[in-house]
Every structure is written in C-alpha cells, then in structure tokens.
Structure 1
Amino acid sequence: MTAENPTGKPGSGGRANNGRKGRPCIEPLGRGETVTLLDASGPGVVRRIWCTLPPGNADHLRNVIVRMYWDGSGYPSVEVPIGDFFGLAHGQQRPFETACVAMQGGTGFNCWIPMPFHDAARITVTNESATDVAMFFYQIDYTIGDDLTSAGLFHASFRRENPVPLGEDFLILDTTGGPGVFLGVVLGIRNLYPHRHEWWGEGEVKFFLDGEDFPTICGTGTEDYIGSAWGTPEIASPFQGAPLIDDDAGFYSLYRFHVPDPIYFQSGLRVTIQQLGAGDRPAALKVLGDPALLYRAVGTDEDSDLCLFERSDDYSAVAFWYQTTPTRVAPLPPAADRVRDLASATHPSQ
C-alpha cells in the first residue's frame, strides 16, 4: 500500500498518471492533517513499513505521530513520534540498521516488526508539528489470510520527562491486562549535569513482572543493557546499540530489542531505568549538596574521589511489546513538550 495505491486493492496501483509515476507521495502532509495509510480487513500481518520525509526537521520527527488501531479498537495500540518509532531519539537522524528498525542512509525509515491483526488494521499518520511536511512517502507491505491462532497484537508507546525528578527512576513502560511479551525500547537521554563529560550511564534497567514490588530482571548498568561495557561508543548491531553518542551536546540514543531473549508477562509489566552517574565525588557533592545522594562506586573505598551519584536528566523512551488484546497506551506529552530543548526544534507554544 502506497500513495500510488492507497486502497491496496489488486490492480489499483499506478493509475494517477496513466501508468506513469503520478502520485508517489502525500504532497503535502498539512499541519494538523491526519491521513490513513492502511485500512485492511484480516486476518493478516503487517510485514514491513517504509517511509521518508524531508530530513533535518526535529519538529517533524517528534511531532509527526504514527498511530495503529487493531481489530476495530477505538483507541490506538501504537501512538509514537515517527523518528523515535524508527529507532532514534531527540528528533535526530543517523544512518544505522537493526533487525527491527532502521534509518537507512539516515533518511529511509524501515520497520520489519511483524504486526498481526485478526479482524482489522488501521494505520494513520498525523502532522502535529508547526509546519506542513512538504512530501511524505510511504509503503506498507502486509499479508492476508494468515493463521494467527496464538498471535499477540503489537503495541508501542512514547514517554518523556524533561527533567526526571532527582532520585526517581524513569518509567519506560507500565501496562496491565496481559498476557504479553516485551519486545524492546528506544531510549533517549539528554545530559543535564553541569559537568557534562562525567559518565551518565550507571542506571540499571529493571523489569517488574506481574505486580512485583522488586524486579525479577535487574540489569547492571545502562551501557551493559545494550551489550557494551565500560561506557559505549556509537555502535549498531542487529538487536542492541547506540547510534547517537554526542558528549559535546549531551545527546544519547540507545536501543535494545529482545527478539532472541523475549520477556514474558502474564498480567502486567513495569519497566524502569535509574538515573545514576559516576564521577568526581567533590564535584558531585558541590552540585547535589547532599552526601546521601552519593554512593560508593564498585571497586573503590568509601572515601574515594570516584563515586556514584543521583542525577536529574531528560529521558525519553519508546517501548515496544505485544499483548493479546488492544491495550490503551500512555498518553503523549503535548507537542511543545515533545520538542522542547531539542536542537533545530521549534513549536508555536514554546
């Protein structure tokens, strides 16, 4: 299904210009406009989504919103900014590829996550940015008639806290009404610590299964969660990586997909990440003013100049998961809050 064949019906493509290239895109995707990209009856599976828009506009990347509705649900099971959905936070674009999503060449947005539907599928895109998107190209490939006896429904939600309160963990996902399986996360961090080059990634990712007070799955550090160690360079691999590491500007974008190691839940799942850093103790004490917010770093003495410390940074996340029934996702922050403090991003209400 493309702009050349918006209905997806057999033999209905390429008619806009008598068989020549006539309507390859939505031109424009106007400010405030919603366009239905897919409206199909099932059972079936969305197999691949590709799209692109003119590059370099953070407001578009954060405020063009992808929504997906399964099986006639009146609310979306996917409601996510387009840039974050395709794997990169902060309204940025970088070339990288994973087994699930990619920004091929930094401009071609791809998603290969299977998205089953039993009765119906509807995918829309809404321009909630401050300006028109001059051109929006897309292609959605799907199959019909699939055997979906045990298939879950795809979900994705977006959260941002700018900043996360000091001493609190950032909530990546909180869902009930399982069972389901957690697929992964695209995580954005903007470093707000005055000493920007101090390490920001000591926070542990925690998975609380089915109402647990303490997590069954508890990681050891942020870069450890994405497969790196002792910090992380810019790196992309099939299921985990960091396509954006900018120490000078303080922007970081990480991803982890649990395709080989899925996390199952029966009634609900809560996923969090701590805000913890590592660095110079006197400097941290000067910034924080409370020694109770400082901790011993592993491998050091209590009075070492190297310590761990609480932080308050700008975090965002897209969580990806499956559940057996359509589930209401976390509400989106307002458009202005989605782009606030991002490079090259503006919005009228800022």
Structure 2
Amino acid sequence: MKHTSWLLAGALLSWASGLWAADAFNGLDMGMGNLFRVSKAESRSISPENFTGEKGRGGMATEGTGKNAARDLGQGWKVSPSVRIAAGQTFTLGEIKGPGMIQSIWMTPTGNWRKSILRFYWDDEPTPSVECPVGDFFAMGWGQYSQLSSLAVCVNPGSAFNCYWPMPFLKKARITMENIDSRDMVLYYQINYTLAPVPRDAAYFHAQYRQEKPLKQKGLYTILDGVKGEGHYVGTYLAWQVHSPGWWGEGEIKFYLDGDKDWPTICGTGTEDYFCGSYNFEVRDWQDNKKRNYGVFNTPYSGLHQVIPPNQIYEVGQRFGLYRWHIPDPVRFKKDLRVTIQALGWQEGGRYLQLQDDIASVAYWYQKEPHAPFPALPSAKDLEYPAKP
C-alpha cells in the first residue's frame, strides 16, 4: 500500500530506510497516512514504573523515588517515577527482546548534559551504535535549554528531551546512561516501542559524537569518518563557538562517498546554506540598518535554534546550535562515508579566513550492521564546555 500522506509523523516513519513499506512493516508504520489501519504490532513502554516493559506490569512498584510522596496512598500512586544514577555509574534504561522498533523516547535528565552519556546497542553487539552526551544527542550541546520543534527531535519547556528517530532491531535493543560527572543525577524517562516483524532490508540507527576545541586543522572539522558498509546519512547537529569577530559561516560541507578521496561527491555552498538559511542568518531592521541580529529559527528539518548570547552579532565567543535533518533527502552510501565542514570566515580585503573555533557535533545515520568501532569518547575533563574567550 502506498502512502497517501507525507505529514510529519508519517513522513519520518515511512522514510527511515528508504525502502520500507507499510505492508512489510506489518503495521509498524503508523504515521498519519496509515493511522486508520489495524495492526498486529504490540505496543509496549519502558519507564521507571515498568522497567521491563512487560504487559500488565506497569505501576506496581512499592519502592522508588516517589515512595515518600505516596506514603499515604501506596502502590499504584507514582511510587517510582524516576531513577537516581550515582556518579560514575551506568544505568540500563531498557533492554528489549525483538523483533521490534523504538518509536519515541522522552526524558528529563538533570546534572551535566555533556557528562551524561547515552548509548544504544543492537542485537548484542560489543560496541554501541549510539554513543553521545545526552545534551548533544538532543541538540542541546551548550547545557542550556532552547526550544526546539523539529520532526526528529523536540525539546520542550522544562528541558524535556524527545526523540522520534525510528529505531528497528531484529534481536535485541539495549539503552544505557552513564553518569561520568562527580555528582549524582536524577532521570525521568520513557521508551515507547512496538514488537512486530522487521523487514530484512531495515537498517540500524547510529549516532556519533565528536569535538575539537580548538580545531586541530585550521579551517577544517570532521563530522564523521571511518563509516564502512551500506546505509544513508540522516542528520547533523553542531555546537559551534567562534574565536574571531565577524561572520564565521562561509565554510562548505562535503560528503565523501564510496571511495571518494581528495574530492567529494556532494559539496555545499556555505554553512548557513547547508542549514537551510542564507546571508549569515542575519535579520535587519529595514527602518534602521544598524539594528541587526541573528534570525533564530527551527523548522521540521533544519534550524539555528540557539544563539548565546542572543542579543549580539559577530562577537568573539558567541555560541550557536544548528541542526539539519536529511529526512526528505538522505545521503546514500554503499561502501563508506566521510563528512567534513569548513570553518571559514572573513578578513579584511574581502578574503576568506580559516578559523580555529571550538566545534562539537553529532552525526546521525542508518546502516547495515556490523559498524566500524567509534573513536574513543573524550574524557570527562575534555568534555567540559570550553571557556569563553
């Protein structure tokens, strides 16, 4: 059955591998275009009120972080709404036997978002397919809340993190959170998923964090490298801090596909162009040309959703959060993939200036397993936010 609608939810689920069909998913694809269809898929949910997601086992806790508040009410009255993860400890948020698909994840992590490490493992693999500080995974790389309303990730008031990337798996899914900070953290979370057959051509979700502060090679930052196999690239998040005055986003993004060496197959025309903006993201007051600011925006597929501080422009030390989801236009690769972006500004005389800014990134993609091991995650000290100049 062909989709009759490319509305937001339906588009994301329909697109994920580029080849999935509603019939092959046996009802897993329940976007707006197929919302009326009855399915044999079984809905489940993991939270501190049901750690295993088992049918008919929710809300049964007699111990938990809400026990004192529920002391007059007892079992069934929000006894275990959250978990406490001690400093230096790793907590398993969920372990699911497949086949099935994670449909959405909601969480409200306290503590240091850069030192709370989220990991996903598929089918008992030895190394994670997702390894990322929780703040950066949800496009909040500066440890500060900013409203984000996109198709794949939403961050809502109260610092509520929401993820809607579809994540199919055949045998098993395991999700953990490691607290590498020196302080304990409290985590409220919910993982919504379905149990149902998964098509043979389904690819697995991956996300990888990288950072350089400052850039190791002047003017050049590597978003992703070392990917081997078949799949498609679906998203980029950047947390960018500038060290030079003036406009900083002249750089081009480049996708090196399937054996590309010196020259890429896909080459963009500028940083703001790649993130679907234009002309420095600048908004001017047409009555007073001296009044200028960055035009903060967020849309289903792209945005400059965070500027710190928000009331300045072209200042040394400013910080930016940008995202680009390749949902209608995934970048396909058959053998390997490398993604880079230039850090390029302006200098006097109308010439480009190679920058040495601080950049952190998350790359999101789907691929057939096995995946190549990720580079080692930076230490807790190295993950600390860079100081302002």
TM-score (norm 2): 0.77
Matches within 5 A, 1:1-350: 1-17=46-62, 18-26=75-83, 28-54=84-110, 60-105=112-157, 107-133=159-185, 135-193=186-244, 195=245, 198-213=246-261, 214-232=263-281, 233-246=295-308, 247=313, 248=315, 249-279=317-347, 281=348, 305-327=349-371, 328-341=373-386
* Structure 2 unaligned regions, length at least 5: 1-45, 63-74, 282-294
**In structure 2, what residue type is equivalent to 1:64?**
S
Please give the alpha-carbon distance, in whole angstroms, between the structure 2 residues aligned to 1:80 and 1:166: 23
Please give the alpha-carbon distance, in whole angstroms, between the structure 1 residues aligned to 2:360 and 2:203: 25
Please give the alpha-carbon distance, in whole angstroms, between the structure 2 residues aligned to 1:16 and 1:112: 28
Whether contact under 8 Å (1:186, 1:254) holds in the other structure is: yes
Structure-1 residue corresponding to 2:6: none
Whether contact under 8 Å (1:219, 1:225) holds in the other structure is: yes
Quote how far apart the aligned CAs of 1:342 are.
5.0
Higher relative contact order (CA 8 A, sep 6+): 1
Whether contact under 8 Å (1:43, 1:148) holds in the other structure is: no
Please give the alpha-carbon distance, in whole angstroms, between the structure 2 residues aligned to 1:65 and 1:165: 24
Give the % identical residues: 40
Quote how far apart the aligned CAs of 1:306 are.
2.4
Please give the alpha-carbon distance, in whole angstroms, between the structure 2 residues aligned to 1:203 and 1:341: 22
Quote how far apart the aligned CAs of 1:147 are.
2.7
Please give the alpha-carbon distance, in whole angstroms, between the structure 1 residues aligned to 2:177 and 2:218: 36
Quote how far apart the aligned CAs of 1:148 are.
2.3
**In structure 1, what residue type is equivalent to 2:239?**
G
Quote how far apart the aligned CAs of 1:90 are.
2.2
Please give the alpha-carbon distance, in whole angstroms, between the structure 2 residues aligned to 1:242 and 1:10: 41
Distance change >3 Å, CA 22–CA 93, structure 1 → 2: same
Please give the alpha-carbon distance, in whole angstroms, between the structure 2 residues aligned to 1:204 and 1:138: 37
Whether contact under 8 Å (1:79, 1:158) holds in the other structure is: yes
Please give the alpha-carbon distance, in whole angstroms, between the structure 1 residues aligned to 2:275 and 2:123: 34
Please give the alpha-carbon distance, in whole angstroms, between the structure 2 residues aligned to 1:227 and 1:275: 17
Whether contact under 8 Å (2:87, 2:180) holds in the other structure is: yes
SS in 2 for 1:336: coil
**In structure 2, what residue type is equivalent to 1:209?**
L
**In structure 1, what residue type is equivalent to 2:336?**
G
Structure-2 residue corresponding to 1:346: none
RMSD: 1.4
**In structure 2, what residue type is equivalent to 1:236?**
N
Quote how far apart the aligned CAs of 1:168 are.
4.6
Structure-2 residue corresponding to 1:289: none
Q: Which moved more, 1:84-93 or 1:182-191?
A: 84-93
Please give the alpha-carbon distance, in whole angstroms, between the structure 2 residues aligned to 1:115 and 1:216: 28
Whether contact under 8 Å (1:157, 1:319) holds in the other structure is: yes
Q: Which moved more, 1:245-254 or 1:98-107?
A: 245-254
Quote how far apart the aligned CAs of 1:166 are.
4.7
**In structure 1, what residue type is equivalent to 2:279?**
W
Distance change >3 Å, CA 104–CA 309, structure 1 → 2: same
Please give the alpha-carbon distance, in whole angstroms, between the structure 1 residues aligned to 2:342 and 2:242: 14
Quote how far apart the aligned CAs of 1:117 are.
0.6
- Count the aligned residue pairs: 310
Deviations 1:194-230 (A, max 9, x none): x3xx001011000000120211110011000011000
Distance change >3 Å, CA 258–CA 251, structure 1 → 2: same
Deviations 1:268-291 (A, max 9, x none): 100000111024x1xxxxxxxxxx
TM-score (norm 1): 0.85
**In structure 2, what residue type is equivalent to 1:252?**
F
**In structure 2, what residue type is equivalent to 1:46?**
I
Deviations 1:48-107 (A, max 9, x none): 0000023xx5xx110100000001101101000000001122222211111001111251
**In structure 2, what residue type is equivalent to 1:191?**
V
Please give the alpha-carbon distance, in whole angstroms, between the structure 1 residues aligned to 2:378 and 2:386: 14
Whether contact under 8 Å (1:189, 1:252) holds in the other structure is: yes
Please give the alpha-carbon distance, in whole angstroms, between the structure 2 residues aligned to 1:323 and 1:137: 30
